[in-house]
Amino acid sequence: MTFYRANLCVALLLAAALFSGCKDKDAIKVYRVSKGERESLAPQTSEPARGGMGALPPMAAPGAPSARPSQVTGTAPANWEAQPLTPMRQASFLVKGDDGATADISLVALAGTAGGVLDNVNRWLSQLGQPAITAEQLANTAQHVGSAFGDVTVVDLAGLPEGADAAKDGRIVAGIASGEGKTYFFKMRGNAALVESQKDGFIRWIGTVRASESAPSHP
């Protein structure tokens, strides 16, 4: 019987080892990724648009229906292509240039100060692989434009993070407006030359954006 018992013990040990090695679904993972890797998230939808051999794709298609109608109106340049909105994006556009160059334009409204102007500018700089600046440097470089949401602090930031695609990245022109307990982020990010060519139109667009009639009193 000793032979049987030994075999049984081996079988039970193997089974225990097998189950102890199961995928740990609760484990928190910590890792580092290149700053060049931009979050390219499409909003998730319950029934993703797809084709093919029956597999469930990881994201909804960029052309998926928007989560809600826009709560702002504005006069965007004719060459900007409107993109589907998300609960966070009040406005979203894509502009295309030569040789596959693109730039992404968005308006996001968040409650509160959303980190403040300096923190957000430094966050954008870090996205471009650039060092942070001080409040004094920000004051010297920022320009101010008027909008329906109040004074907008506009910054123009350049830099290409390592590993990033120069056709889609390299420059951010962004504006921040605060008022009525909310912060509005106007942002254009993409190919450096394309962003430069669109900068004037972007600043004019900021001036034209206002809450649409269906929107609440403070969007």
Partner 1 sequence: MWCRFFHVISSLKLTVICLSLALVLVFVGTMAQVNFGIHEVQQRYFQSLFVWWPSGSQGFRIPVFPGGHLLGGVLLVNLVAAHVRRFRWTWRTLGIHLTHLGLIIILAGGLFTDLFSVESFMRLAPGETKNYSEDPRAMELAVIGESDKDLDQVTAIPEARLKKGGTIGSESLPFRIAVRHFYQNSRLQPLDKAGQNALPAATEGAGAQLAVTEVPPAIAENDRDLKSAVIEIVPMRGETAARAPVTWLVSGQLGEPQTISCAGKTWRLVMRPARYYKPYSLTLKKFTHETYAGTQIAKNFASHAVLADPERNENRDVLITMNHPLRYRGETFFQSGFEEGDKATILQDVYNPSFIAPYVACVIVAAGLLFQFGYHFVGFIRRRKTGHAQ
Residue numbers 192-211 binding partner 1 by CB under 8 A = none
Q: Which of 77, 97, 145, 161 binds partner 1 (CB under 8 A)?
A: 161
- Give 143-198 as a DSSP string: EEE--TTS-EEEEEEE---TT--TTT-EEEEEEEEEETTEEEEEEEEEEHHHHHHH
Min dist. Cβ of residue 9 to partner 1 (A)? 10
Q: Does 35 bind partner 1 (CB under 8 A)?
A: yes
95 C-beta neighbours (distance < 10 Å), count: 23
Q: In a 3-state reduction of DSSP, which class is residue 200?
A: helix
Q: Does 68 bind partner 1 (CB under 8 A)?
A: yes
Q: φ, ψ for residue 181 (rounded to 5)?
A: 75, 15
Min dist. Cβ of residue 49 to partner 1 (A)? 5
Q: Which of 108, 133, 142, 193 binds partner 1 (CB under 8 A)?
A: 108
Return the closest-CA partner of residue 62 out of 37, 41, 39.
41
Q: Does 19 bind partner 1 (CB under 8 A)?
A: yes
Q: Does 97 bind partner 1 (CB under 8 A)?
A: no
User: Which region among 43-51, 72-80, 137-145, 148-156 touches partner 1 (by CB under 8 A)?
Assistant: 43-51
